[in-house]
Structure 1
């Protein structure tokens, strides 16, 4: 996610500049027709526009609250994964006289974390990372899951046979969890794992399955399309109609203004309509970039960074060190 103190105004203007260009056209065309084509009938009562703007603000606000809640849910899921993973490492490292077994349990868990983050970063048709303004901003940060193949990363933690099995499965995460469970059962059947450790570790696997399901819910089920559609339609309709509501309001100012602006006050409808409409379109764009918390945008949950930190922690429990991994999303 964005790791700077805040977005700069220049960043935000660059990110939304295409909308600003469209709003300039939408604001200028009514003024040209009103002033030079004598189409004074184009003016719309400002009261109607205000009512539409009020309804639009409620719709956009509702969407932004819901998308923020989705982002918060995603953060809570991964906070739980971090906590449960550290607990898993703690138990694995305290197995009596079984250092190699503990290492296998931790490395297989790191493989599961890797497969999960790759799964969550795979694109969906409703996500917006393919849109031009997001593609441009992608140059400011990198997403490791899009730069290195899954098989190369899994090979760090799994044996060649386990890697092949995970990749051959329709769900690598489910395959790795199943391997972990079967491995524990084999240890228990062989008498290398007593009942208390076995039950505690199996309970941990059940918790990971539940947390994975929660993450998949946020990934595979988007913000309801009916609400997303009506929000986008309301914003566009308001932005188109708003300049028409300002024509007569600014034209009346010619009666109290002299000098170069006399007779040209209606042109003020352009900058003011752009500023107000830009607030609505920007809020809508922010909501859209927040509703999919794993799509790879600058507002995502930083799952790559969390997994890198977890790997450092878990390997430190084994007495190993791992090189520092830079966060995947850095503000520039």
Structure 2
């Protein structure tokens, strides 16, 4: 995710080109400008055609295209915002569960404190990678040999981590380290983990319908192709600038929507799930009095476009 200060307006504009979407947009707009320039030279200087189109036709098409793009952007942003709300809920549930375990477990019971802290933190890290290209075991915290072997045999590691937390909770009830009433809110938070996991998978595995996405792209390209015919008679070579400006506006909205509709990856504008997972780990270990595990420096995950 690109980190910026929205109060520094001019500095934000200077760093505008850091976004992959903007770089791709500049290249596409430049290509359209070159094609339009060739068209203008052929029509005005070489063949000297007289092309007359009703400008109202292009205004009508522009309105239709704008409505489609507004709906496209709102749909993509809803997915991005829902993902942010889900990860915010994960932060809150992780803290609440850690606070409960801190109040229920004896101060000297470092084994169970370590167990819950490790598994809560590992769930956030595993979920982050599960929503990308698969969980990387080397990123999980403090795995022993038994856990490494077990996770290598599992297709769905976040589910296994939740199952381990359920089993540990049941073990604490049987050993009377906590009461049955104490286990009820614990299970509620574990259920919330499962709900967050399922909701994130729904966003990840249910993209915008292909036909709808490709329809808008074709519409934009057709509009860009025929627009010079309606502008060249009145604006001449100024058509090149107008064509690039309108194409920049329309295709830019589509590219931004395309990037944020899957908010869990490594694109410039995706959610900072790596940073959030680190925050969960630090908070949980601190709550359970395991201060030596808290990272002193906040490490920001490097976000870049994945080709």
Q: Could you state the TM-score of these two structures normalised by the residue count of structure 1? A: 0.81
Asked if 2 retains the 8 angstrom alpha-carbon contact of 1:23 and 1:278, the reply is: no
Q: Secondary structure at the match of 2:301?
A: coil
CA contact (8 A) 1:92 1:103 kept: no
For residue 198 of structure 1, the aligned residue among 175, 179, 183 is 183
Tell me which of 137, 142, 154 is aligned to 1:151.
137
Q: Would you say 1:24 and 2:46 are equivalent positions?
A: no
Change over 3 Å in CA distance of 1:174–1:9 after alignment to 2: closer
2:61 is equivalent to residue 88 of structure 1? no
Per-residue Cα deviation, 1:259-292 (whole angstroms, up to 9, x for no partner): xxxxxxx111111211121111111111111111
Residue 43 (structure 2) pairs with residue 34 (structure 1): yes
Deviations 1:186-234 (A, max 9, x none): 2222333211222221121111100111111111111222221111111
Match of 1:294 among 260, 264, 276: 264
Secondary structure of 1:26's partner? helix
2:8 corresponding residue in structure 1: none
Is residue 220–residue 250 contact of structure 2 (8 Å, CA) maintained in 1? yes
| Corresponding residue for residue 224 of structure 1 | 209
Cα contact 1:67–1:291 (8 A) shared by 2:
yes
Corresponding residue for residue 3 of structure 1 = 3
1:232 partner SS? helix
Q: 2:69 corresponds to which residue? A: 60
* 2:168 match: 183
The structural deviation recorded for 1:42 is: 4.8
Shift of 1:93: 1.2
- SS of residue paired to 1:169: coil
Distance in 2 between residues matched to 1:152 and 1:96, nearest whole Å: 29
Who is 1:110 aligned against?
121
Alpha-carbon distance in structure 2 between the residues aligned to 1:273 and 1:87: 54
Q: Distance in 2 between matches of 1:21 and 1:184?
A: 60
Q: CA deviation digits over 1:228-261, x for unaligned, max 9?
A: 11111111111111111101112xxxxxxxxxxx
Equivalent position of 1:79 in the other structure: 88
What is the CA-CA distance between 1:40 and the residue it aligns to? Answer: 2.4
TM-score using structure 2 length: 0.87
* Residue 163 of structure 1: how far off its partner (Å): 2.6
What's the offset of the Cα at 1:83? 0.4
Cα 1:173–1:157 change in 2 (3 A) is same
CA distance in 1, matches of 2:18, 2:36: 23
Q: In the alignment, is residue 168 of structure 1 matched against residue 153 of structure 2?
A: yes
What is residue 132 of structure 2 aligned with on the other side? 121
Answer yes or no: is the 8 Å Cα contact 1:93–1:318 preserved in 2. Answer: yes
Specify the alignment match of 2:238 in structure 1: 268
Which has the higher mean CA deviation after the structures are superposed, 93-102 or 82-91? 93-102
Q: Is the 8 A contact 2:86 2:200 kept in 1?
A: yes
Specify whether residues 42 and 164 from structure 1 end up closer, same or farther in structure 2 by C-alpha distance, changes over 3 A only: farther
Tell me the CA shift for residue 15 of structure 1: 4.0
Residue from 226, 233, 236 that aligns with 1:241? 226
**Contact kept in structure 2, 1:111 and 1:157, CA below 8 Å:** no
Give the paired residue count. Answer: 290
1:77-104 alpha-carbon deviations (Å, 9 max, x no partner): 0110000000011011112423321221
Tell whether the 8 Å contact from 1:108 to 1:158 is kept in structure 2 after alignment. no
